[in-house]
Amino acid sequence: QEARFMILDEPASNLDYGNQVRVIRKIRELAGRKIGILMATHHPDHAFMAASRVAVLSGGRLSHNGTPESTLTAETLRSLYGVEVDVFETPQNGHASRRLCAPVV
């Protein structure tokens, strides 16, 4: 029997880069099979790669809610993490572009 909904609490934390990618791919595969996913993460890029909706919590309260593109803006991320962040779009192997973020160092 297959679950219809999964709750994942930081499923890619403490993993090396390759295993983070594998976990995100598996999450996308499960979502593609119409399995609902609720995932907590501190990595905005994971939300850009795997989420269709994002809820941002700050101080234990909901501060933003919407699509990753409309919610995870440079301003929102700066406010959350206290550092300057660039959010940009990049082509993905001939497919539609995807959004990523990087700290300004």
Residue 75's pLDDT is 96
Number of domains in the chain: 1
The residue to which tokens 């390759």 are assigned: 18
Residue 97 has pLDDT above 90, yes or no: no
CATH number at residue 17: 3.40.50.300
Stretch 88-103: mean pLDDT: 85
Residue 92 has pLDDT above 90, yes or no: no
Does 99 or 95 have the greater pLDDT score?
99
Q: 31 is in which domain, residue-wise? A: 5-103
Give the pair of three-digit tokens for residue 83.
């550092």
pLDDT in tens, 56-81: 999 999 999 999 999 999 999 999 99
H helix and E strand count, the chain? 4, 6
Q: How many CA atoms lie within 13 A of 46 on its CB side?
A: 23
Distance CA 31, CA 37 (A): 7
Task: Summarize the chain as % helix, strand, coil (round to 5).
Answer: 35, 35, 30
